[in-house]
Structure 1
Amino acid sequence: MTHMHVAGSIHADATSPAPQWLKRPEDVNALTRQLWSEHAGRDAQGRLAIAGLTAQEIVEQAGSPVYVIDEADFRGRARRWKEAFGDWQVFYAGKSFLCTTVARWIAEEGLGLDVCTGGELAVALRGGMDPARIGLHGNNKSEDELRAALQAGVGRIIVDSSHEIGLLERLCAELGTVARVMIRVTTGVEAHTHEYIATAHEDQKFGFSINGGAALVALVRSAHSPHLNLVGVHSHIGSQIFDTNGFEVAARRTLKLIAQFKEATGTELSELDLGGGFGISYIKEDTPATPEDLAAGLRAIVEHECRGFGLSVPLMSVEPGRAICGPAGTAIYTVGTVKTVELGGGQSRRYISVDGGMSDNIRPALYAAEYSAAMANRTSAAEPVLSRVVGKHCEGGDILVRDEFLPGDLTAGDLIAVPASGAYSRSMASNYNHVPRPPVVAVSDGRLTTLLRRETLDDLLALDAGA
């Protein structure tokens, strides 16, 4: 296959039939339970309801499009991860979705919080997160970001380069403090995900490579620095991972590195972070592992490898983000135009345009991520029709749901809900085509709370320094 712009590639494949995993449903109104938040379902009138509010009621209060977070579901998933991993530390990956209220939820549920920019750090602190339970990531942290983290007293800084080690040493000397650090390493493990989101293979921007000795050099240098308190090693092998196979290899290689460090220095590092990337169900064919199964599997892997290397089991940590907020979120859109395109050979495709698009969910255009959808404001007795849900932007690749069977009588004014939209939707949103970003609301027991308000045209114009 020749390489081309992703949006162009998606657009060029428009005549392909539906994927094999997508089957014509017996009931086009049925909701696949694993895709939706715990408190989402159809009410007695057939309308989608989330935590006591129908989709129509949510739109009437918050407008359309809108991101909806099932608060109890979010909190329940956070607690489940914490309980499943027991004495391991669980850090919520703020990059998946973060606002001050979410930071407060995470603090109240007893998790740590991983941030990767000064902006995320500011939100976490404003949300009341204990800085000692915050970790700062990033492959190009600025001097201002590192200074802010040191002054706030963050619990750990995940160091990503030799330049950063030097910068941290200088700042710590200036501020009269010692930074608690972990060294991020690349293990040579590539998770079976899209190339754009796999992050542990060698040819990438993150971390120190174990192969060739760069990681060991960084560990020894940090250990001998009077300005750094080296506590351990950090790795991350990718995203949307459904099992522990990749983690087994990563654990073996990181623990071997810790054993080499012990041999070189006589000191045994006390912490190991295996990162995140735990997957969720976007389509009915996705089969992610449960937190309990992941915890049992990872614990067995680490204990086995530690025995093999003659190491004590370190304080372990993981970083779920998508696995907590993804399934808790639903995006709701209003249908505008509906058109059918003849593809030849007796095939056709129905295009359903909604009032959002790639500006509020870039993942399908960025790396062909798959999503599901359902009509939200009513049920239908019409036959299922293979449909493509697209946005309003001036791009052929502006696709939200590439393939889905939806009712044949779906029309302008109907509502469409896209489950599993809580992660990497609002956090990656843009103002492409000068479209204001949708609000994020939380629902709980029939009440709606605004987490992030809807942007307005006045917000956009306020940044324009022209006349």
Structure 2
Amino acid sequence: MTNPLVPARLLGAGDPQALPGHVWPASARRNGTGAIEIAGVLLADLADRHGTPLYVLDEGEAKGRAARAVAAFRGAAEPLGARAHVYYAGKAFLSADVARWMRDAGLRIDVATGGELAPALAAGVPAARIGLHGNDKSDDELATAVEAGVGSIVLDSAEEVDRVADAARRAAVVQAVRLRVNSGVHASTHEYLATAREDQKFGVALTQVPAIVAAIRARPELRFLGLHSHIGSQILGVGGFAEAARRLLVVHRDLLRSGEVPELNLGGGFGIAYTEDQEAVPIEQLAIGIVGTVAATCAELGIAVPDLAVEPGRWIVGPAGVTLYTAGTVKDVELQTPDGPATRRYVSVDGGMSDNARTALYGAEYQVRLADRISEADPVLVRVVGRHCESGDVVVQADLLPADAGRGDLLAVPATGAYHHSLASNYNLVTRPPVVAVADGAERVLITRETLADLFARDAGLTEPMPAVSAAQEAE
């Protein structure tokens, strides 16, 4: 590959048509004709039946990873005489079926808004197994959560102490609460994903904790569970979590002198591999590293190991997702580089930043594969871009595709199960894609495709119903 625009990570990459197992669902494979199947379902058949863009979710992969997370943390905590509570972070992707999968796998559900709380409750998740957090909860959200009997509310500021206590008093209940703390750990991740740095909107400073906890304990309507920390998202190592645990446990020890502190919640943010060159830490290794640090620090401080809580979302559902697109316009752009002339091939698809905002938001990297066939053509450098009116509308910054890939081909982008549907928008008045689960050779729609009628139902200026439009027409 002589193109000077090819990034270093691709120079040593393997077969550009392979499906690396640490990026794709474990069930992904190419059949005898070279077409990709997931969980025994041909992706091209899904595209024919449901149109593109299309989110595909491997049900077995998501369920399996959920069970692994529970087993990993419980297995690490139980020998220490502590319990581990694993919450699924619903913000990653939440539907009624996914909530049931997590419930049945033994997880609790972590929600951040009333909109996330509602489907979790409607799906049959016991309220006592739901936690609510957020930096600006409304009075209605707090009242709904308290009246429903949610198991915990994460307080994000001093003012929430009285607001939650008043809601609990009106409901005649005692509400369990945690206090979110900024540990000051600067996690190695994108600036927008680092959530424990001092100058940001979440949580309270460590120095504020004693006074706020005293205020919590002064309200009989509240029961203090412990401290909550979330250092960021898409973190690929153990070090940041371990350091946050050490810092919080010092405060935890001090709080024990004036009352019970039964739990410590270390949040989520466990990263996944989006491209072949990335390597995520196995959840079992994360659990051993985090829990081991907690145990060692507690021994140094002379305190008992508390019950632990964690909140994985991306790690569970991210690798289970693949997004399908239909290729459209292909355009070669000639550029001058310090190393001489070069060509970047732009491959447009029928989606973009409306169904994958992460590339535009964080400069995220992805892989792309030809999904409906295999090709003997030489690989070329491509940038997969969307159909929106933004130059930053990029789906895949850089990858290799066969030189004959073009209009009408089906393209697949893996590791899109988390923060894709959740962040989807109607920019340029496009409709949002459906989500289809696959398992054991069968498919099931989790989220239906949004139609133009759905989109314009809220437009008060339209007095006539929108005409029926096919999915293919809407994608044009």
Scaled by the length of structure 2, what TM-score is found? 0.93
| Counterpart check, 1:149 vs 2:163 | no
Distance in 1 between the 2:4 and 2:153 partners? Answer: 47
| Counterpart check, 1:442 vs 2:437 | yes
SS at match of 1:190: coil
Q: Deviation per CA, 1:322-369, whole angstroms, max 9, x where unpaired?
A: 000000000000001111110123201000000000000000001101
Q: How does 1:392-407 map to 2 (within 5 A)?
A: 392-407=387-402
Partner of 2:471: none
Q: How does 1:268-283 map to 2 (within 5 A)?
A: 268-283=260-275
Q: How does 1:405-416 map to 2 (within 5 A)?
A: 405-416=400-411
Q: Deviation per CA, 1:89-117, whole angstroms, max 9, x where unpaired?
A: 11000000001110011111110110000
SS at match of 1:385: strand
Partner of 2:204: 208
Which of 70, 89, 93 aligns to 2:89? It is 93
* One-letter amino acid of the counterpart of residue 7, structure 2: P
Partner of 1:461: 456
Distance in 2 between the 1:262 and 1:48 partners? Answer: 55
| Counterpart check, 1:109 vs 2:105 | yes
For the 8 Å contact 2:113–2:132, the answer to whether it is kept is yes
For the 8 Å contact 1:220–1:261, the answer to whether it is kept is no
Which of 368, 382, 391 aligns to 2:386? It is 391
Q: Deviation per CA, 1:107-159, whole angstroms, max 9, x where unpaired?
A: 11110110000000001111111111100010000010011101111110011
Distance in 1 between the 2:15 and 2:232 partners? Answer: 36
| Counterpart check, 1:132 vs 2:132 | no
Partner of 2:25: 37
In structure 2, the CA distance between the partners of 1:274 and 1:74, relative to structure 1 (3 Å rule), is same
For the 8 Å contact 2:327–2:408, the answer to whether it is kept is yes
For the 8 Å contact 2:176–2:225, the answer to whether it is kept is yes
For the 8 Å contact 1:354–1:392, the answer to whether it is kept is yes
Q: Report the CA distance between 1:285 and its aligned residue.
A: 1.5
Partner of 1:356: 351
SS at match of 1:464: coil
Q: Report the CA distance between 1:430 and its aligned residue.
A: 0.3
For the 8 Å contact 2:194–2:233, the answer to whether it is kept is yes
Partner of 1:230: 224
For the 8 Å contact 2:4–2:342, the answer to whether it is kept is no
For the 8 Å contact 1:258–1:268, the answer to whether it is kept is no
Distance in 1 between the 2:421 and 2:4 partners? Answer: 30
Partner of 1:159: 155
SS at match of 1:35: coil
Of residues 43-52 and 254-263 in structure 1, the stretch that sits farther from structure 2 once superposed is: 254-263
Q: Deviation per CA, 1:445-467, whole angstroms, max 9, x where unpaired?
A: 11110000000111111010114
In structure 2, the CA distance between the partners of 1:464 and 1:65, relative to structure 1 (3 Å rule), is same
Q: Report the CA distance between 1:28 and its aligned residue.
A: 2.9
Partner of 1:299: 291
Q: Deviation per CA, 1:170-223, whole angstroms, max 9, x where unpaired?
A: 11121211111011100000110010110001001111110xx21221111111
In structure 2, the CA distance between the partners of 1:409 and 1:139, relative to structure 1 (3 Å rule), is same
Distance in 1 between the 2:21 and 2:136 partners? Answer: 41
Which of 228, 248, 251 aligns to 1:254? It is 248
* One-letter amino acid of the counterpart of residue 279, structure 2: T
Distance in 1 between the 2:268 and 2:422 partners? Answer: 17
* One-letter amino acid of the counterpart of residue 462, structure 1: A
SS at match of 2:179: strand
Which of 161, 169, 172 aligns to 1:173? It is 169
Distance in 1 between the 2:114 and 2:195 partners? Answer: 22
Q: Report the CA distance between 1:24 and its aligned residue.
A: 6.0
Scaled by the length of structure 1, what TM-score is found? 0.94
Distance in 1 between the 2:193 and 2:341 partners? Answer: 37
For the 8 Å contact 2:5–2:344, the answer to whether it is kept is no
Distance in 2 between the 1:234 and 1:194 partners? Answer: 21
Distance in 1 between the 2:391 and 2:451 partners? Answer: 26
For the 8 Å contact 1:70–1:443, the answer to whether it is kept is yes
Q: Report the CA distance between 1:252 and its aligned residue.
A: 1.1
Q: Deviation per CA, 1:11-58, whole angstroms, max 9, x where unpaired?
A: xxxx98232212265533222221100111111110011111111101
Kindly, what percent of the aligned residue pairs are identical? 50
In structure 2, the CA distance between the partners of 1:411 and 1:256, relative to structure 1 (3 Å rule), is same
Partner of 2:328: 336
Distance in 2 between the 1:328 and 1:310 partners? Answer: 42
**Count of residues in correspondence between the two structures:** 449
Partner of 2:15: 27
* One-letter amino acid of the counterpart of residue 107, structure 1: R
* One-letter amino acid of the counterpart of residue 20, structure 1: A
Distance in 1 between the 2:456 and 2:174 partners? Answer: 44
Distance in 2 between the 1:173 and 1:34 partners? Answer: 49
For the 8 Å contact 1:25–1:384, the answer to whether it is kept is no
SS at match of 1:300: helix
Q: Report the CA distance between 1:262 and its aligned residue.
A: 2.2
Partner of 2:467: none
For the 8 Å contact 1:181–1:228, the answer to whether it is kept is yes
| Counterpart check, 1:49 vs 2:37 | yes
Unmatched segments (≥5 aa) in structure 1? 1-14
Distance in 2 between the 1:118 and 1:191 partners? Answer: 29
* One-letter amino acid of the counterpart of residue 33, structure 2: Q
Distance in 1 between the 2:197 and 2:7 partners? Answer: 29
* One-letter amino acid of the counterpart of residue 343, structure 1: L
| Counterpart check, 1:18 vs 2:6 | yes
| Counterpart check, 1:80 vs 2:56 | no
